[in-house]
Structure 1
Amino acid sequence: MPVIRRSLTLAAALATTAALGLPAVAIAADGRTAAPRLDLKDGRLDWGLKESFRKYVTGMAHGTIETVGGAQQGADNGPFTFSGGTGSYDTATHSVATTFQGGVRFTSTAHGFDIKIADLKLSTKGTGGAITADVTAAGRTQDDVPLASLDLSGVRPGSGAGGAMTFAGIPTKLTAEGAKAFNGMYKEGQELDPATLSVTPATTPAPKPDPTQPPTTGPSTEPTTEPGDKSGDKSGDKSGGKAGGESAEKPGTGKPAEKPGTDKSAGGSGPGTSSAVAVGTLVDGTLDWGVKKSFREYVTGPIGGGKAELGGGAATSGAGYRFPKGHGSVDTGKSALTADFNGSVRFLAHSGALDLKFDNLKVKVSGTKGTLVADVSAKSRASGKVTTTQAMPVADLAVPVGALTPVKNVVTLDKVPAKLTAAGATAFDNMYPAGQALDPVTLAVSLDANAQLPAGAGGSGAGTSGGSGTGAASFSSGNGAGGALAATGSAVPTEALIGTAAALVAAGGAAAYATRRRAIR
C-alpha cells in the first residue's frame, strides 16, 4: 500500500492548498504566475513553550501564568493557544509567514522574575522554520527573538474546518538567540514542546477546476502503513523478552526440537543453565537506580547548586547509581525475592537546606508487586530537623509475570517501573505527590558464586557526583553562563531567567527552597 513520504512538508502541502484555492484568473494564459502570494487567515498556534517550565513557575517558584490579548491556556497548566493568525504563503519560494494574537506572562515574586512573551510569529522555508516572539523581562523588551527552530521533515498535513490545513506535533528546539534571551540557562538545541499550526487560505476557491491542469495522480484511498512522525516515540520497557512461546516440537516429526535440558525457559534434569523453580540464597548482586532524573538535575543544577555524595561502595552507573553486594533469598516457585544492597546516595542542595539520603536499599518482590525500601534521612524545610526512618517503603514496583526465573543462575529485573509511595513522598518533603513516576529499577542477583553478573555501565566509587559524571563537579551559580540545566520536571530552567540567577542563587536560594509549598511535578 502507498506510504506517505516523510519529506512531505508544510510548504508542499500549502502549495497544493493554494493551487486548489486560487481563482482561475490567478494563472495567466501563458502559464506565468500572476500572483505569487496567497493570503492566510484564521491561523492558530498551539504551543506550550516547555511543559517543565510551566510546572516550575506554578510549583517551586510559587508563581503565576497569565494569558493576555486573547491567548488561552489549556486545563491543568496545559499548553497555550494563540489565535487570530494572519499571514501569507509565497508560491514562488514556498515559504509561510504568520503572526498570531495574544501573549503569555510568567511571574514569580519568590524567584524574582517577570517575563512576557507576545506577538508570536511562525515562519517556514523548506523543511525548516522558526517561532519568534517579543520577549519582555525586567522592563526591557526584545523584539522578534527567534525562540525556537522548527523541523517539518517528518510532519504530515491534516485537514480542518473551513478548508484549514493543520500540522500537528512539529518538533521545536531552542535557538542560540532563545538561549541568550533566557540568560543562557537553557542550552541551544534543548527540546521544547511540539507546536501545532493551523492556517486557512483567505482566497475564495475557483468555482470550477482548470481543465487544462488535471491532477497528475488521484488521492490515495488506502491508509498509510507506517506512522509519519516518529519523533514522539518513547523507548518501551525492554524487560518483557520474547512474547509468547514457540513450539517445542518440529512439525510432523513428534520429536523434540532441542536436546533435553537445554531449554532456558523450562525446568529439566539435563545440563540446562536455568530452572523454572529455584529456591536459594543470593550470593551477589547489583541494583541500578537513579532515584529521579529530574530531581538529580534539580539538585546539581544552577537552582540547587548542590551535589550527590555516594558512599558505602555505591558508584555512578550510566545516568544513575549502582548499589553493590546484593544478598538475600529467592523462591521462584512462590515468585518471592528479598534482596539487600550496600551503598548510599546523599543529595545536598541550597547550601544544606536540602539534605536527603538513601541508604541500605532493599528490593522485595511478591508475585507481580514489589517494593523498594531504604533507610532514609531527610531534613525538613520548615524546621531544619533531620529525621531518619528505617526501612521506609520508598517506591512501588510493577514486576512482570515470571520475571524471577533465573537464567544461568542469575535473576534479572530490567527497568521495572517505580512509583513514589505516600511514605516516600514525605522523604522528598512532599515536593512530589504519591504515585509520581521515579526512575525505573534494574537489579541482577546471583544464586551461585560462579554466576556472571551483567557488566556495569561504568562509573566511580564513593565520592561526589554533580550529575552522571564522577568525582567532584562544580556548577555556576552566578550569571548562569555555565552549568547543567536544572530541572524539576524534565529540564526546568533556573530562577535566574532573564538575568536574576545571581540574586536568588547567591543570596536567597536556601530561603526560596524553604518557603515553597506546592508540589514539584
Structure 2
Amino acid sequence: MPVRRRRSTALAAAVTTAAALGATALAALGGATTASAAGAPLSDYELTWGIKQSYRTYVGMFGSFTASEGATQAAGNGAFTFTDGTGTYDTAAHTVDLGFQGKVVSASAAHGFEITLTDVRFDSAAGEITADVRKVATVDGTSTTTEGDDVPLATVEVTRRMTDMATTLTAEAGEYLGNAGYAGAAGDPLTVARKTQPSTEPTTEPTTGPTTDPTSGPTGKPGTGPSTEPTDPKPTDPKPTGPETTPGPQDPSPTASTSASPSTPASAAPAKGEIADGTLGWGVKESFRSYVVGSIAKGRVTVSGGAVQAAGNGAFTFKNATGTYDTDADKLTAAFEGAVNFKGHQSGGTYGLDLTLSNLKATLDGGTGKLSADVNSLGEQTEGVVLADLEAESGDLKADGDVITVDGVAATLTDAGAKVFGNYPAGTALDAVDLSVALSDEAHLPSGGSGGSAGGGAGSTGGTAATVGGTGTTTGGSIGGGSLASTGSDLPGPALGAAAGLAVVAGAGAVLATRRRRTREQQPAE
C-alpha cells in the first residue's frame, strides 16, 4: 500500500531549512495567502531547473529520464523545462506564485527505482520550489511506493530577474532521490521566465519588500496599488544595456588595428607552412570525468607525456603541436603530445575501466573536421580512432600575431567514438575543443597554452604524470552538463570490459548487487 506524505511534515522541514539559511521564507510560509488580495494574474511562464547535475549523470549512467505532458529535457541529459506556468503576481510585495505543467520520470531497472515529479511550483515569497513526488523502490523483488504532495525540493535565493537563481536541496529531496547527502547540497540554478516577454514583466523583490524597490522612488510603498506597478519593474531597460555596452565591440577594434598595423608587414607568417607549436584544450566530457572519480567508479584520472589537467578535475591541455596550415584554403592539421588515462571499478587488483587517449590530432577544413586519438582500452591498442566530428563557429582561419586560435569548436561523438566509450549514441555532444597553433618560433601562444597554465591544478608540471581522484568523491558538474548519453545505459561498455559492463547493465554484479541490498534505497552520486 502506498505511503503518502502530506505537506504538514514537508512544511515543517522547509521552515527549519529556511531558518538555518537566515532567509525570509519564514514570514512568507506563514502568510503567503494574505498577499493574494493584491495579486495580478500571470500566465505562459516556463521554469528551467536541472535538479542536480550529478544526479542526472547517475541516472543517465544506469537508466534514463522521460519528460512528458509539457515538460522537456535539454539535449545531452541537460536541465528540465516545465511549461504553461500560471499563477499570481503580488503587486504590493513584488512576489510571484506559479504552478507549471509537465512530468519527469527518472528510472533505472538495474537499480530498482522510478521517481516521478509533477505539479512543479515556484513561490518566490517562500523562496522554494515544490512538486508532487511518487517514488517506487524495488529491493529483492519487493516494491515500496512513497508519495508526497507539495514536497519542498529546494530553497531558492530569489533574485529580481529570476534567472540562474541559486538553489539548495532539502532533506526531502535527498529522501526521495535516494541520497541523504543531498540535504543542504547545492542544486542546479533555477530560471523562471515568461515565454513571451511583455514590457511590464513582473520582477521580484525577495527580501527587501516594496519600500526598497529601486525604481519605485519615495512613494513606492505597500498599498500604492497596481496603478503604479506597470511603470515600476522595467526588465527591458537594464537587460540590453548590460551585455551590449560592457564588451564595447567597437572599442577594441581601433586599438587592435593600430597596434598591429606597424608590425604586421614585417612579421606576418606566410599563408601556409608548418606549425611551430600549439595546444589543444579538451575535457572529453565533463560528466564522464565526474563519473570516473565519483562514488560509483571510485577511480582516477591521470595525465602524462606533457599533458596537463585544470584544477577540480577540469579539462585537459595537450601541447607541442606539429602539423601544417593554409590560411588561404582555411585548412589546419595538428597533432599534439600528451596522454590521459581513466581508471575505475577496481576489484581484486584489476580495473574494469582502463582507458588511455594519446596522440590527439585535429583537422579543420573550412570550419569542419575531425578529432582522433590513439586508444588503449584494457590493454588493447587502436591507433587513429576518429572520436569526434568538429565544427567551428567560423570556417575562416586567420592568424593574429602569427597565432591561429579557434575556440569553442563543437565536438560530436562519432560511431567509432561511441564504440570506444560504450553504448553512447553517435551524435552526443562532447566538451568543446579549443585550438591555438603558432606559425613561427617567435609567436606567443595565449595564456594556458605551452606555458602549461591550463587553469592550474593537477598536472600543471609538464611531462610529469599527475592524478585526480581515487578517493571516491565526485568532482565538479555544472548546469548544462549531462551524461555522455541521454538515453539507455550510460556505462562505458568496451572501456569497462564485457563482464563488468554486463554486470552493471543487468544489475547482477555481485559487488554492486550486494551493496544495493544492504541499503534501503540506492544512493546516487553526490
TM-score normalised to the size of structure 1? 0.59
Separation in 2, partners of 1:304, 1:229: 47
SS at match of 1:18: helix
Question: Letter of the aligned partner of 2:372 in structure 1?
Answer: V
Deviation (angstroms), 1:428:
1.8
Give 1:314's match in structure 2, choosing from 307, 311, 314: 307
Q: Does the C-alpha gap of structure 1 residues 447 and 91 become closer, same or farther in structure 2, counting only changes over 3 Å?
A: closer
Separation in 1, partners of 2:441, 2:352: 44
Q: Does the C-alpha gap of structure 1 residues 357 and 105 become closer, same or farther in structure 2, counting only changes over 3 Å?
A: same
Give 2:167's match in structure 1, choosing from 144, 169, 173: 173
Question: Letter of the aligned partner of 2:37 in structure 1?
Answer: A
Question: Letter of the aligned partner of 1:174 in structure 2?
Answer: T
Q: Does the C-alpha gap of structure 1 residues 302 and 284 become closer, same or farther in structure 2, counting only changes over 3 Å?
A: same
User: Structure 2, unaligned stretches of length 5 or more?
Assistant: 1-27, 138-143, 196-222, 449-453, 484-498, 508-526
Whether the 8 Å CA contact 2:39–2:91 is kept in 1: the answer is: no
| Aligned ranges 1:389-404 → 2 under 5 Å | 389-401=382-394, 404=397
Separation in 2, partners of 1:84, 1:445: 49
Q: Does the C-alpha gap of structure 1 residues 454 and 48 become closer, same or farther in structure 2, counting only changes over 3 Å?
A: closer
Deviation (angstroms), 1:341:
1.0
Which string of whole-angstrom CA distances, capped at 9 and with x for unpartnered residues, describes residues 40-97 of structure 1? 9999996766486896687532367599xxx7755999958699999x9999988777
Q: Does the C-alpha gap of structure 1 residues 65 and 283 become closer, same or farther in structure 2, counting only changes over 3 Å?
A: closer
| Aligned ranges 1:166-315 → 2 under 5 Å | 171=165, 173-178=167-172, 180-181=174-175, 182-184=178-180, 186=182, 188-191=185-188, 194=191, 217=228, 219=230, 224-227=236-239, 262=262, 264=264, 268=265, 271=266, 273-275=267-269, 277-315=270-308
1:161 matched to which residue of 2? none
1:490 matched to which residue of 2? 481
Separation in 2, partners of 1:322, 1:75: 31
Q: Are 1:333 and 2:324 matched, yes or no?
A: no
Q: Does the C-alpha gap of structure 1 residues 327 and 183 become closer, same or farther in structure 2, counting only changes over 3 Å?
A: same
Q: Does the C-alpha gap of structure 1 residues 452 and 213 become closer, same or farther in structure 2, counting only changes over 3 Å?
A: closer
Q: Does the C-alpha gap of structure 1 residues 473 and 262 become closer, same or farther in structure 2, counting only changes over 3 Å?
A: same
Whether the 8 Å CA contact 2:291–2:474 is kept in 1: the answer is: no
Question: Letter of the aligned partner of 1:129 in structure 2?
Answer: E
Deviation (angstroms), 1:140:
7.6
User: Structure 1, unaligned stretches of length 5 or more?
Assistant: 1-9, 22-39, 157-168, 199-211, 249-256, 380-385, 465-469, 477-481, 493-507, 517-521
Greater shift in the superposed pair: 136-145 or 392-401: 136-145
Deviation (angstroms), 1:148:
1.1
1:500 matched to which residue of 2? none
Q: Does the C-alpha gap of structure 1 residues 509 and 111 become closer, same or farther in structure 2, counting only changes over 3 Å?
A: farther
Whether the 8 Å CA contact 1:285–1:324 is kept in 2: the answer is: yes
Q: Does the C-alpha gap of structure 1 residues 107 and 366 become closer, same or farther in structure 2, counting only changes over 3 Å?
A: closer
Separation in 2, partners of 1:94, 1:243: 38
Whether the 8 Å CA contact 2:63–2:106 is kept in 1: the answer is: no
SS at match of 2:290: helix
1:499 matched to which residue of 2? none
TM-score normalised to the size of structure 2? 0.59
Q: Does the C-alpha gap of structure 1 residues 172 and 473 become closer, same or farther in structure 2, counting only changes over 3 Å?
A: closer
Give 1:18's match in structure 2, choosing from 30, 37, 40: 37
1:110 matched to which residue of 2? 110
Give 2:441's match in structure 1, choosing from 446, 449, 454: 449
Separation in 1, partners of 2:323, 2:422: 31
Q: Are 1:422 and 2:434 matched, yes or no?
A: no
- Percent identity between matched residues is 31
1:125 matched to which residue of 2? 125
Bigger-Rg structure (1/2) = 1
Deviation (angstroms), 1:227:
3.7
1:201 matched to which residue of 2? none
- Higher helix fraction (1 or 2): 2
Q: Does the C-alpha gap of structure 1 residues 117 and 228 become closer, same or farther in structure 2, counting only changes over 3 Å?
A: farther
Whether the 8 Å CA contact 1:43–1:98 is kept in 2: the answer is: no
Which string of whole-angstrom CA distances, capped at 9 and with x for unpartnered residues, describes residues 301-324 of structure 1? 223322222222211135211112
Greater shift in the superposed pair: 213-222 or 113-122: 213-222
Deviation (angstroms), 1:325:
1.6
Separation in 1, partners of 2:238, 2:306: 47
Separation in 2, partners of 1:42, 1:411: 49
Greater shift in the superposed pair: 396-405 or 217-226: 217-226
Separation in 2, partners of 1:140, 1:435: 37
Q: Does the C-alpha gap of structure 1 residues 359 and 242 become closer, same or farther in structure 2, counting only changes over 3 Å?
A: farther
Separation in 1, partners of 2:241, 2:173: 26
Whether the 8 Å CA contact 2:59–2:107 is kept in 1: the answer is: no
Separation in 2, partners of 1:124, 1:488: 21
SS at match of 1:148: strand
Separation in 1, partners of 2:180, 2:302: 27
Number of equivalenced pairs: 404
Greater shift in the superposed pair: 451-460 or 354-363: 451-460
Deviation (angstroms), 1:392:
2.0
Which string of whole-angstrom CA distances, capped at 9 and with x for unpartnered residues, describes residues 442-500 of structure 1? 22222333332233222415677xxxxx5353333xxxxx54378997257xxxxxxxx
